[in-house]
């Protein structure tokens, strides 16, 4: 994969900060956008802008075709059976909130019954269920991880109880980079009579998704992490299950008819898309998926495997156990997300000092405080790579970490001079 060539498509990567070229290592938070996506959104507003579905004039019909064409593109991306199984939302968070409310309202889960998630999941796959604990009396259980940050199938099944109605878990951890065995976990959940929901926010940008092969019931991901715009996400659900669920919000677009004494709703996906939808964002998402799949999954995954091996090797050689990177070792169950602690330095200080060198990483609890508690840390620094990341940017980060280590070196100890990169 010609990464240097790909980088020419991302204008923000040409910027400098504090006198240094930007090394953007925060793609797990949001990806940068290629020109193809920026132009697709801009062209929609220049040439095609109108509200969708309700207009009978040519411009509205044109906008509707673009919007529904984006739905068809997402269905192909996920290998879904029908575009009607694709619901557009504002992001993974809204998709999971929609599910938590709709499953309770439909009676699929109720008071005294339980949801199972994992200790490594993002808050967006925890807090909606905690809200339902308060409002609806459901229970919430957590599966632990092993010492490498993995979720084992046997441990997962052991946590399922006769009262478990929903099992919901990430495909890839946004902190540890752990790739969970989704198909196995879904099969074990179904064996106990539970629905399987997958948060694919961190997997959809990095690996092909086939909802049929995964064997899940629902799956969610966010556009802004797959090179697309912010403000758009996807909820996929098996058609027969979506048909059972009541709407999450009420308003225009999602109704068949409204009278003073009642309302009838449209079939999915319209039932779940109240109000004016994110039309330009859907057009941008379509362009993003075209670009991403044009790169090639095998090439992308090979590039990220190489970056993972390079990062872990350089960290070990340069810092030894003074720099601890959490998560599984390099392999098929590890993605290019590197959360770490540097001996003697707080993660927030690390991120601020790296920024002075033009290196952009994230620090904090990463919306995964139960995982922080499990790991026994208040926060972690996190670097995350993507298709436009160069090995030289990893080396720049390591050199900058060497300077941070020297700054926080206790007085009276032997200086460790960082080797140049």
The span from the CA of 198 to the CA of 173, in Å, is: 12
Q: Tell which phi-psi region holds residue 34, choosing left (phi > 0), alpha (psi between -120 and 50) or beta.
A: beta
Q: Which two tokens stand for residue 133?
A: 């604990």
In terms of Cα–Cα distance, which of 142, 199, 120 is closest to 367?
A: 120
165 phi-psi bin (left φ>0, alpha ψ -120 to 50, beta other): alpha
Among the listed residues 119, 367, 372, 421, the single catalytic one is 367
Distance CA 321, CA 392 (A): 22
Structure tokens at 207: 């690996």
Length of the chain measured in residues:
421
Distance of CA 132 to the CA centre of its chain: 22
Q: Is the separation of the CB atoms in 217 and 185 below 8 Å? A: no
Pairing of strands 114-118, 164-170: parallel
Q: What does 234-287 look like in DSSP terms, one character per residue?
A: EEEE-HHHHHHPPPSS-SSSSEEEEETTEEEEPPTTGGG--SS--HHHHHHHHH
Q: Within 10 Å of residue 56's Cβ, how many Cβ atoms?
A: 6
Q: Is 211 a catalytic residue?
A: no
Dist CA 397 CA 336 (whole Å):
15
Query: From CA 366, how far away is CA 339, in angstroms rounded?
Result: 10
Q: Which residues are catalytic?
A: 367
């Amino acid at each position: 994969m010609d990464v240097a060539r790909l980088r020419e498509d991302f204008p923000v990567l040409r910027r400098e900060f504090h006198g240094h070229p930007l090394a953007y290592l925060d793609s797990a938070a949001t990806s940068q956008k290629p020109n193809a996506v920026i132009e697709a959104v801009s062209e929609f507003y220049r040439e095609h802008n109108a509200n969708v579905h309700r207009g009978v004039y040519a411009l509205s019909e044109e906008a509707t075709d673009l919007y529904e064409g984006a739905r068809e593109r997402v269905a192909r991306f996920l290998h879904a059976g029908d575009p009607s199984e694709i619901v557009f939302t504002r992001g993974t968070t809204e998709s999971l909130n929609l599910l938590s409310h709709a499953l309770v309202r439909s009676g699929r889960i109720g008071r005294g019954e339980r949801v199972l998630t994992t200790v490594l999941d993002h808050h967006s796959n925890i807090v909606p269920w905690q809200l339902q604990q308060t409002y609806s009396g459901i229970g919430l259980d957590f599966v632990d991880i092993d010492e490498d940050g993995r979720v084992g199938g046997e441990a997962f099944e052991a946590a399922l109880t006769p009262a478990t109605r929903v099992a919901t878990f990430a495909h890839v951890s946004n902190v540890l980079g752990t790739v969970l065995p989704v198909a196995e976990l879904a099969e074990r959940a179904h064996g106990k009579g539970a629905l399987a929901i997958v948060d694919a926010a961190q997997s959809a940008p990095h690996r092909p998704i086939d909802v049929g092969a995964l064997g899940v019931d629902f799956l969610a991901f966010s556009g802004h992490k797959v090179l697309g715009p912010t403000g758009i996400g996807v909820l996929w659900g098996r058609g027969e299950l979506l048909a059972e669920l009541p709407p999450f919000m009420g308003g225009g677009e999602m109704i068949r008819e409204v009278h003073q004494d009642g309302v009838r709703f449209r079939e999915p996906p319209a039932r779940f898309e109240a109000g004016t939808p994110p039309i330009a964002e859907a057009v941008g998402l379509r362009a993003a998926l075209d670009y991403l799949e044009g790169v090639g999954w095998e090439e992308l995954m090979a590039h990220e495997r190489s970056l993972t091996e390079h990062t872990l090797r350089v960290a070990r050689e340069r810092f030894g156990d003074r720099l601890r990177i959490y998560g599984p070792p390099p392999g098929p169950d590890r993605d290019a997300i590197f959360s770490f602690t540097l001996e003697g330095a707080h993660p927030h200080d690390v991120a601020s000092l790296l920024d002075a060198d033009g290196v952009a990483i994230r620090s904090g609890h990463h919306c995964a405080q139960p995982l922080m508690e499990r790991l026994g840390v208040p926060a972690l620094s996190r670097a995350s790579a993507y298709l436009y990341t160069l090995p030289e940017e990893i080396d720049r980060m390591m050199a900058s970490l060497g300077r941070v280590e020297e700054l926080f070196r206790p007085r009276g100890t032997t200086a460790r001079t960082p080797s140049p990169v």
